[in-house]
Chain A
Amino acid sequence: MATILFDGVAYGMLMFILACGLAVTLGLMNFVNLAHGAFAMAGGYVTVTLMDRWGVPFLACLPAAFVASAALGLVLERTLYRHLYGRDHLEQVLFSIGLVFIAVATTDYFMGSSQRNITLPSWLQGRREILGVSVGLYRSFLIVVCGALALGLQLGLTRTRFGSRLRAAVDDARVARGLGIPVGLVFAATFAVGSGLAGLGGALGVELLGLDPYFPMKFLIYFLIVVAVGGTSGIMGPFLAALLLGIADVAGKYYLSSALGGFVIYLVLIVVLVLRPHGLFARAR
């Protein structure tokens, strides 16, 4: 029982890191970025390539994946995305699905279409008995890293100057501009951080989720679930939603038969959204 819970938490934490950038762009910047998974995939491929070709240690790949995806996000935001802020949601869907297609085809062309894997350093492999519960070392590592990141993000958003500028820019871009807040820059930086986090999540997820050129499509549904259930008014909502998703998914598959286990998560989603249309953890507006 405790092991199942632990597995679910680790899985959920990973989902949070992957999806939180989407929560920010969608919730705070009101942009439907269905191409979010492409940034995660970029981080994953950076890691695989660095480790395979140049033998870079796993830990060093993580920041590299973050930086690479963040840079990619920044470039795309400045050149393409910013032209679509404030446009119709449907045009944003068109645009971001187009990006996904391009990302998939390009990755397929350069990296091949088969699954890629990495070999973790030996200190992250295997299991330990902790307080009578057998836990996987890599999953513990995930929980620690992702937990710390979530905490950092929450503090950054609520306690720093940048966080308050971002919230101001979102609430009313015109007034914020009038107050001298460089709205464009704030958005660009936010977008870059969100993409970078996705990249980091992609790097961390190679071991658990695998990596192929169709990653952005395969996991899009999961990202959307996290954001929809968590609500889009902050970081804590998606965080709790991701944990819930992870635990429900793992426990559903363990305790129910496979036929039911497959869709219990979607039924939960429907019930939650019908009862709480703005997400389970959204503050009432």
Chain B
Amino acid sequence: MLRREILTIAALSLLPVVAFAQDTVKIGLILPMTGQQASTGKQIDAAVKLYQAQHGTTVAGKKVEVILKDDTSVPDVTKRLAQELVVNDKVAVLAGFGITPSAMATAPIATQAKVPEVVMAAGTSSITEASPFVVRTSFTLAQSAVPMAEWAVKNGIKRVVTMVSDYGPGIDAEKSFSDRFKAEGGTIIENLRVPMRAPDFAPVLQKAADTKADALFVFVPSGAGAQFVKQFVERGLDKGGMKLIATGDVTDDDQLAGMGDAVVGVINAHNYSANHDSALNKSYVEAFRKANGGLRPNFMSVGGYDGMHLIYEALKKTGGDASGDKLMAAMKGLAWESPRGPISIDPDTRDIVQNIYIRKVEKKDGELYNVEFATIPNVKDPVKAAKK
């Protein structure tokens, strides 16, 4: 029934579509441009614009047009916008997705309409399993949490308290860190969770302090990172001998410069640092800052930048054929050099494979940066890897 109806309507509007599709490939970019997640949206939007400015708007003979929509981080709005983009604008690719529920809500649309969904930000592991048309260029939280656990064990940290924000990604981080840490012989003293609406970290930090653990592993969404670290230091936990280890969201490049010296020395694991030492990254950071009034690109921005690269390269491979199946086939297994280092798309899971770097916050030329000092190459999403 459903298919028949789609076919009928497609047939009715066949002529104009074909004429149009010949020269333009549209990308529906759905991002939170307002609301709590607005900084994510701005970073990705800026990166997408930068990519098009650098690489032109024509690929494989097709003009690539990006249509930006604001979903205000409300999943049912995301889904409606995605549907409208597919139905009205005939987009060939859906992209963006600031938070996990938005990406999840859209997945059925991607399946139904056979349109690739390029996830540029949301980090819960299971998103890529929601539809065979989902492909991710950001990261999964477990990708950062597991290497952090391994590094901690190797560096003499035996007893750890974890503290995460109480929602999907936080629980992902808590579970993957704890499981690996225990498997490597460490002890998790306690798993603490803080409610999302928790402006004051004092009580949880006090609880952590009372455990006298070797280290505190923490994940909080990037906006809350600075306050957390400050309160950690203010409580004197660092002087009490407790190390702070984290996923890189906590020391987000977007805000790192303004966090103050309290964050110096925080050890964290993540996929991208604006300080990453490569020629490509240097020119990327320079161009990004120039185009955006000095704004420093963060790990969200590379998700957007690489997402565009993925779409462009896939179009090149298909010779400009923008049908969903062909694009997906072309995307699987693509590998390239990104500002964050070498990355590829896992052909089995359609998730990103990338280097994870262990970093330490240091002051360089008067500015705070995540300075990479160890690399774990080609990390696949550990949650999906464990399922096999």
Question: Is A–B contact present in the complex under a CB 8 A cutoff?
Answer: yes
The answer to the question of A259 belonging to the interface, with a C-beta cut-off of 8 Å to chain B, is: yes
Judging by beta carbons under 8 Å apart, are A117 and B192 in contact? no
In contact, A250 and B200 (Cβ under 8 angstroms): yes
**Known contacts A112-B295, A250-B202, A261-B195; A127/B235 CB under 8 A:** yes
Any chain B CB within 8 A of the CB of A209? yes
**Residues of chain B lying within 8 A (CB to CB) of residue A257:** 193
Q: Which of B38, B192, B225, B231 interacts with A113 by CB under 8 Å? A: B38
B197-250 interface (Cβ within 8 A of A): 197-200, 202-204, 206-207, 223-227, 230-231, 233-236
The residue on A at minimum CB distance from B198 is A253
- Secondary structure of the A side of the interface? helix
Query: Would B226 and A212 count as touching, CB distance under 8 A?
Result: no
Bound complex: CA A219 to CA B200 (Å): 12
Query: Does A116 interact with chain B (Cβ within 8 Å)?
Result: yes
Give the segment of A3-11, A19-27, A234-242 that binds chain B: A3-11
Which segment of B102-110, B127-135, B254-262 sits at the interface? B254-262
A115–B166 CB distance below 8 A? no
Q: Chain B: interface residue count, which band?
A: 35 or more
Known interface pairs A207-B230, A254-B203, A262-B166. Does A212 touch B223 (Cβ–Cβ under 8 Å)? Answer: yes
> How many cross-chain pairs have Cβ atoms below 8 Å apart between A and B?
111
Answer yes or no: B278 CB below 8 A from chain A CBs: no
List of B residues within 8 angstroms of A191 by Cβ:
none
* A209 → chain B closest CB, angstroms: 5
A262 touches B35 (CB 8 A): no
Q: From known contacts A11-B202, A116-B258, A136-B234, infer whether A258 and B192 are also in contact, taking CB-CB under 8 Å.
A: yes
Contact residues in A for B230 (Cβ distance below 8 Å):
117, 207
Chain B contacts of A251 at CB under 8 A?
Answer: 203
CA distance A171 to B35 in the complex (A): 40
CB 8 Å contact bits of B165-190 with A (1 = contact, 0 = none): 01000000000000000000000000
Cβ 8 A contact of B259, one of A104, A117, A218, A259: A117
Q: How far is the CA of A115 from the CA of B200 in the complex (A)?
A: 15
B194 and A114 contacting across the interface, CB-CB below 8 Å: no
Q: Quick one: closest A residue to B166, CB to CB?
A: A258
Assess whether B39 is interfacial by the CB under 8 Å rule: yes
B147 to chain A, nearest CB (A): 26
Contacts of A125 in B (CB 8 A): 233-234
B226 touching A4 by the CB < 8 A rule? no
Q: How far is the CB of A18 from chain B (nearest CB, A)?
A: 11
Q: Does B34 contact A (CB under 8 A)?
A: yes
**How many Å lie between the Cα of A115 and that of B226 in the bound state?**
8
With a CB–CB cut-off of 8 A, which chain A residues contact B261? Answer: 119
Q: Does residue B317 face the partner (Cβ distance < 8 Å to A)? A: no
Within the complex, the shortest CB–CB distance from A112 to chain B, in Å, comes to 7
A79 to B66, CA, bound (A): 42
- Give min CB distance, B35 to chain A, whole Å: 7
Over the window 102-142 of chain A, the binary record of Cβ atoms lying under 8 Å from chain B Cβ atoms (1 yes, 0 no) is: 00110010001111111100000111000000101010000
A117-B255, A126-B234, A138-B234 as given contacts; A210 in contact with B199, CB under 8 Å = yes
B304 to chain A, nearest CB (A): 15
Assuming the A-B contacts A210-B224, A214-B35, are A11 and B236 also in contact, with contact meaning beta carbons closer than 8 angstroms in the complex? no
**A162-198 toward B: CB 8 Å interface, digit per residue (1/0)?**
0000000000000000000000000000000000000
The CA-CA distance from A157 to B206 in the complex, in Å, is 38
- Are A208 and B236 neighbours in the complex by a CB distance under 8 Å? no
| B interface with A by C-beta (< 8 Å) | 34-36, 38-39, 42, 166, 192-195, 197-200, 202-204, 206-207, 223-227, 230-231, 233-236, 254-255, 258-261, 295
Complex A-B: 9 CB contacts under 8 Å: A115-B226, A210-B224, A212-B223, A214-B38, A253-B195, A258-B192, A258-B193, A258-B194, A261-B195
What are the 7 closest A-B residue pairs judged by CB atoms, nearest first? A262-B195, A254-B203, A258-B193, A119-B260, A113-B38, A253-B203, A7-B202
